[in-house]
Amino acid sequence: MEDKRVKTAPSKKSVNTAREVWPYVKEDYASAHRAKAEGKPVVWSCAIIPKEVFWALDVYPVFPEHFGVISGMMRRGGTKDESVEKEAVRFSRLAEAAGFASYLCGYARASIGNTLTGNLADAPLGGLPKPDMIITTSFVCDLRGKWLRYLAQKHNVPFYILDIPERGCDLPLTMPGLRSAFLPFYEKIKRGERDIFFSLPADHELDYTQTQWEECIRFIEDVTGHKYNQDRFNEVMDISYRTNEIRLEILELRKAVPAPMGVADGLACMYPGTYTMGTKRCYEFYVRLRDEVKERVENGIGTIPNERFRLLWYGLAPWFNMSLFNYFEKFGGVFVYEPIYNLVPFPPRMPENPVRELAIRTLQQSGGMIAPTTIGQAVSTLVNAAREYKCSGIVTFYLITCRPVVYPTVEIARVLEEDFGIPAVPIECDLIDERTYSEAQTLARFDAFAERLLKMEPVFA
């Protein structure tokens, strides 16, 4: 008899609200196609760009990155037949045939491959509706600029890139002389004594970022003929602000022992906040999630009943095989927290100048944990996270196809292990392209890691 065990599978979720996400996603794809059919302008954009401007200007945003995620999870026609390759693989192979390197981000290869088929709709959930414009940013990685520029060229639609200064090493930049103050603090960062997370942006960085946003608004106005309205924008910004406060509350609740909402749930629940922030629907989702997590904490309900060790996750997600986040459960291990996709505190609301406010927020993010552009910040973020979430081990995603995510991995593992006694184990592959993944190698590493952790005293207990 042949073993029919599935090699890659979705994760098992613990939190009920997390099960609402898949219908939420499906509804988004359906309504994007409805919007397109009704003649509403569709913009292809990216996860890291705040969406408020899109809602305020009444354009419908969709995301090649998320398209990558679903192609990494699904096979053609929705079949579960394992002898059919995942859609991400089919599209990636087409992109590679056109000359794109296999070391490029899987999201990029998937969406490029899909575009190259000439039939966008032959894809999971009917794919993305054809764009009327493409808006990307220089922020986070080099790739998203050039990738979306290529798509704009292929679809022959107007293109805008929102340039955000790439912040350097770590400390306050308000005064020119101060930016190198990083060095004296490095030892403290290593000891986890100082949070270097919020460095205030300098005036010229803020001015520049604000101009970039104003130009972005002007671009959308020009392309669509829609007019920017500050009151409408403030309404959206208000919802975003309130949503983020709820999300911060959830992050606070997630520190509880036993962990009420692990990484499997966390990565599932990132969708509304990452792609639909600023909508009422998104706000309500997080209110329900917060309420449920709160209840679980009050009743002492954990992801698994007896926690023997708690794990931190660094990196994006291997979407093609989310079951990895349940793997340690048989050893009594639980993935507790993932810094990625969890927003940082927003600056206070500035209704008289919301574009300035958005600029401040964008720059704070750019120094932040959601997408650490500097190695020191990434290390510091993970040190703080390990302490706050009482983790005794970390799994680092050697995301071989993402430069910004893979660069800090060595330093994170080294500093956590050498300075804090928190051991690290890597998993090496792409986020959606399962051809890069070796189950044998990964699980052998995980087993050895679990054995090691079971012998250790928890570090931050």
Partner 1 sequence: MIQEFHDWVHNRHDRIEEWKKENKRKVFGYLCCVAPEELIHAAGILPVKLTGSDEPISVVDRHVVHYACPYVRSILDLAGRGVYDYLDGVVTCNTCDIMSRCEYYWRVLSPREKSTILGVEMSPYVLYIKHPEKISGKGVREFLKQEYRIFKQHLEREQKIIIDDDRLSRTVDIYNEHYYLMEEFRAYRKEEDLKVSGLEAFEVEFSSLLMPKEEHNRLMESYLGELSEREPLPDRGLRLLLSGGGIDQFTSQIYRIIEECGGQVVAEDIGVSTSYFCRKIDNTKDPLDAIVEHRLGVHCPHTMTEDRFPNERFEYIKKVLDGNRIQGVIFFVPLYCECRNLEYPKLKEDLREEFDVPTLYLDNDYSHGGLEEAHSRIEAFIEMISG
Partner 2 sequence: MYFVGIDVGLYSVKSVLVDEERILLSRGVVSEEEGSKAAYRVFQEILKEGNIPEDEIASIVSTGMGRKEVAFANEKRTDQVCIARGAYYLFPSARTVLDTGAGGCRAMKLGDHGKLIDFSSNSKCAGGTGSFLEAAARVLQLDVEGIDSLALKAGSVSRVSSYCAVFAESEIISNIHRGFSKESICAGICESIAQRMHDVLRRVRIEKEVVLCGGVATNGTVVKMFEAELDFPVLVPKDPLMVGALGAAIIARDLIR
What one-letter code names the amino acid at 441? Answer: Q
The piece of 38-46, 47-55, 58-66, 160-168 that touches partner 1 (CB under 8 A) is 160-168
Q: State the binding string over 191-230 for partner 1 (x if CB under 8 A, else -).
A: -----------x-xx-xx--xx-xx---x-----------
Q: Does 180 bind partner 1 (CB under 8 A)?
A: yes
Rounded to the nearest 10 degrees, the angle between the axes of helix 409-420 and helix 182-191 is 60
Q: Does 407 bind partner 1 (CB under 8 A)?
A: yes
- Pull the structure tokens for residue 374: 């500097």
> Measured from the CB atom, is 100 or 283 closer to partner 1?
100
Q: Spell out the residues 6+ positions from residue 72 whose beta carbon is closer than 8 angstroms to its own.
A: 86, 87, 88, 106, 110, 319, 320, 431, 432, 433, 434
- As measured in angstroms, the least distance from the Cβ of 327 to partner 2 is 15
Place of tokens 């500035």: 350
According to CB under 8 A, which one of 163, 235, 238, 252 is a site residue for partner 1?
Answer: 163
DSSP per-residue string spanning 34-81? HHHHTT--EEE--TTS-SHHHHHTT-EEE-HHHHHHHHHH-BGGG---
- As measured in angstroms, the least distance from the Cβ of 445 to partner 2 is 13
Residue 427 sits at φ, ψ, to 5 deg, of -125, 130
What one-letter code names the amino acid at 71? Answer: S
Q: Does 447 bind partner 2 (CB under 8 A)?
A: no
215, interface contact from partner 1, partner 2, none, CB < 5-8 Å by kind: partner 1
According to CB under 8 A, which one of 133, 359, 436, 446 is a site residue for partner 2?
Answer: 436
Q: Does 403 bind partner 1 (CB under 8 A)?
A: yes
Whole-angstrom distance, CA of residue 335 vs CA of residue 328: 8
Q: Does 441 bind partner 1 (CB under 8 A)?
A: no
Find the radius of gyration of the CA atoms of the chain: 22
- As measured in angstroms, the least distance from the Cβ of 177 to partner 1 is 6
145, interface contact from partner 1, partner 2, none, CB < 5-8 Å by kind: partner 1
Task: Give the count of residues interacting with partner 1 (CB under 8 A).
Answer: 62
- Pull the structure tokens for residue 207: 């001015």
Nearest to 290 by CA among 315, 310, 272: 272
Of how many residues is the chain composed?
Answer: 461
> Measured from the CB atom, is 301 or 406 closer to partner 2?
406
Nearest to 110 by CA among 84, 135, 128: 128
- Residue ranges of the alpha helices (H) in 125-261? 143-155, 182-191, 203-224, 230-253
DSSP per-residue string spanning 231-288? HHHHHHHHHHHHHHHHHHHHHHHTTSSS-SS-HHHHHHTHHHHHHSTTSHHHHHHHHH
The piece of 34-42, 94-102, 164-172, 310-318 that touches partner 2 (CB under 8 A) is 94-102
The piece of 77-85, 138-146, 199-207, 345-353 that touches partner 2 (CB under 8 A) is 77-85
Q: Does 440 bind partner 2 (CB under 8 A)?
A: yes
Interacting residues toward partner 1 by CB under 8 A: 98-101, 103-104, 108, 138, 141-143, 145-147, 149-150, 152-153, 156, 158-161, 163, 165-169, 176-184, 202, 204-205, 207-208, 211-212, 214-215, 219, 373-376, 398, 400, 403-404, 406-407, 409-411, 414
* Residues in touch with partner 2 (CB under 8 A): 1-3, 5, 7, 82-83, 85, 89, 93-94, 96-99, 102, 434-441
